[in-house]
């Protein structure tokens, strides 16, 4: 393996390890954050979750329609990737990329931690059905976009202030192509999240309602 390629692979691996550690730290922080909630806050969130479970179980439409869910998921997921791409275009964006990776971990850690804390293994069952499937792909996409953005930002610093090794344009094209490829993957993930995840959740929700002992309530009250 050429020396430059070995150094590049080593640098990339180090960045992947770093952003992965940031993400995992965020997950842990999010799970711990659940314990900081007051009893009233936990009850309020649990009430909204109960409404959500019953809505899914009784097949209510409206906000949970496939097209609306797809556009909502696509918009949110593309914003993550797009913002990371923008932050990678400047040196000052580096800490913001780190913050995004940490925040993503916090959101997932808090969501899973709250459901497990409230419903024990039944909450874990619902988390595996509703959160895990799309995030098994989405999280690597976000981490890969972060590494690409960090690499480009570092190269930008070296090119402009240290080595001045010619045009940055080819590296920019490569960076943008990587982000565009990841964005296409996000489209597929959003389709899965909108059309497949609700079906999986609908299979799991009746078991969760029965095991968690949540009372039945009419859709008209939701």
The answer to whether 129 and 200 have CB atoms below 8 angstroms apart is yes
Per-residue pLDDT tens for 13-54?
Answer: 889 999 999 999 999 999 999 988 888 888 888 777 777 766
Q: Are the C-beta atoms of residues 78 and 5 closer than 8 Å to each other?
A: no
pLDDT in tens, 117-141: 877 777 788 788 888 889 999 999 9
Domain boundaries, position 199: 3-221
Distance between CA atoms of residues 219 and 50, nearest Å: 12
pLDDT at position 43 is: 82
Total domains, the chain: 1
Question: Region 196-203: what's the mean pLDDT?
Answer: 82
CA distances to 4, 5, 178, 216 from 8, rounded to whole Å, are 6, 5, 16, 57
Residues 152-168 pLDDT 10s: 998 888 776 666 666 78
Alpha-carbon dihedral sign for residues 60, 66, 72, 73: positive
Rounded to an integer, what distance in angstroms lies between the CA atom of residue 150 and that of residue 141?
14
pTM of the model: 0.83
């Amino acid at each position: 393996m050429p020396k430059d390629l070995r150094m590049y692979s080593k640098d990339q691996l180090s960045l992947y390890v770093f952003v992965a550690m940031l993400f995992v730290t965020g997950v842990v922080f999010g799970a711990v954050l659940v314990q900081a909630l007051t009893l009233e806050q936990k009850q309020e969130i649990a009430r909204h979750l109960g409404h959500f479970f019953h809505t899914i179980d009784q097949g209510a439409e409206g906000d949970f329609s496939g097209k609306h869910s797809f556009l909502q998921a696509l918009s949110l997921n593309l914003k993550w990737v797009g913002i990371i791409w923008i932050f990678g275009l400047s040196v000052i964006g580096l800490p913001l990329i780190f913050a995004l990776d940490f925040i993503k971990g916090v959101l997932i850690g808090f969501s899973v931690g709250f459901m497990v804390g409230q419903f024990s293994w039944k909450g874990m069952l619902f988390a595996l059905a509703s959160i895990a499937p799309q995030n098994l792909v989405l999280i690597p996409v976000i981490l890969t976009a972060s590494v690409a953005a960090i690499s480009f930002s570092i190269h930008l610093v070296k090119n402009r202030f240290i080595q001045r090794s010619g045009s940055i344009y080819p590296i920019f094209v490569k960076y943008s192509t990587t982000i565009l490829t990841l964005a296409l993957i996000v489209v597929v993930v959003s389709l899965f999240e909108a059309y497949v995840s609700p079906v999986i959740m609908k299979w799991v929700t009746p078991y969760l309602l029965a095991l968690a002992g949540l009372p039945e309530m009419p859709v008209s009250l939701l």
